[in-house]
Homo-oligomer: A and B are copies of this chain.
């Protein structure tokens, strides 16, 4: 049949933790994909910031396993940069996938190049989607070939659901949600009686926070996700337009990470008081993102303790979507919104969407 493709080449940027978990799923599933969809997945390139592997006809399973296992005998080539990667891309068919699981802010050009030549792209890398408006606009024509489900809520079907609602003519009125497992954990601990500083330190010890916990407490990561959702709703805004209220005062910004950790207990009494005031009204505290037509805002809020957001436990994420059709009762999606395995599975599910398109 004309137009039906029997193989699909991938160039994979950023084989970090999520990237390696993705490659593991790929090795496990590729036989099944070939038998169900008749499409052979060919990993033509794996690219790190400084080096790469490439074979137009596909890296062997053995080589891919070596990447997963960080095998030191693997002979990476040095990459002289972006232009070189573009040259590699020209060796593989246009209807291929550029897959970005890196954390780099330098992949936007490559992604645009791939989309403009008629290819597909899948990213778990949020940085590609939060770039300045001028950059972001370049992605707009490619809403149907650019997949980024895991940038909000990891494997939870958030982006695809909102997209389906919009494209079937629904009008989204409000998206409200908790998109930080780390902050969810911290405020669940507070509810259990832990002081704020204790909750922050516990989160750090469990590996839930960035090395400097202020990267989480600043709310920036939540603001990024709110930005991605806002732009999905067609709003023309940038990160700087989002009202983001951090969980520590201005004057603690200039401290070193260690200084911050040794002084974070200064915030305990404030949060204790705010929580006990909230509890008196059967409310609790949650760090909430709100996106409506007129505002995009992320901040700590008092919410009903028995409500969907208030009853959220530990590191789970939640998204509540109110629309013309889901007005009285919103649509709610909830579950683990971070984690290597669920993110990698979400990236693979995005790849599946492309495979379904190609096998038609």
Contacts and interface: CB of A to CB of B under 8 A. Distances in A.
A299 B329 CA distance: 25
Interface stretch (A48-56, A167-175, A250-258): A167-175
Interface stretch (A121-129, A218-226, A334-342): A334-342
Contact of A345 (B33, B170, B311, B360): B170
Contacts of A311: 306, 311
A161 interface: yes
A167 B5 CA distance: 19
A157 B168 contact: no
Interface stretch (A83-91, A190-198, A350-358): A350-358
B325 A359 contact: no
Interface of A: 1-4, 25, 28-29, 32-33, 36-37, 95, 143-144, 155-157, 160-161, 164-165, 167-170, 306, 308, 311, 313-316, 325-326, 328-336, 341-342, 345-346, 348-349, 352-353, 356-360
Contacts of A28: 169
A141 to B, nearest CB: 10
Nearest to A308: B334
Given A311-B311, A358-B360, A345 B169 contact: yes
Nearest to A143: B36
B342 A325 contact: yes
A167 B358 CA distance: 16
Given A29-B169, A325-B341, A331-B333, 8 more contacts: A28-B169, A29-B167, A95-B360, A164-B352, A170-B345, A306-B311, A308-B334, A332-B333
A28 B37 CA distance: 33
Which has the most chain B C-beta neighbours within 10 Å: A1, A161, A164?
A164
A31 to B, nearest CB: 11
Contacts of A331: 155-156, 333-336
B169 A25 contact: yes
A348 B157 contact: no
A146 to B, nearest CB: 12
Contact of A335 (B160, B329, B342): B329
B325 A155 contact: yes
Nearest to A334: B332
A149 to B, nearest CB: 9
Which has the most chain B C-beta neighbours within 10 Å: A4, A313, A315, A316?
A316
A161 B156 CA distance: 9
A154 to B, nearest CB: 10
Contact of A36 (B37, B144, B308, B342): B144
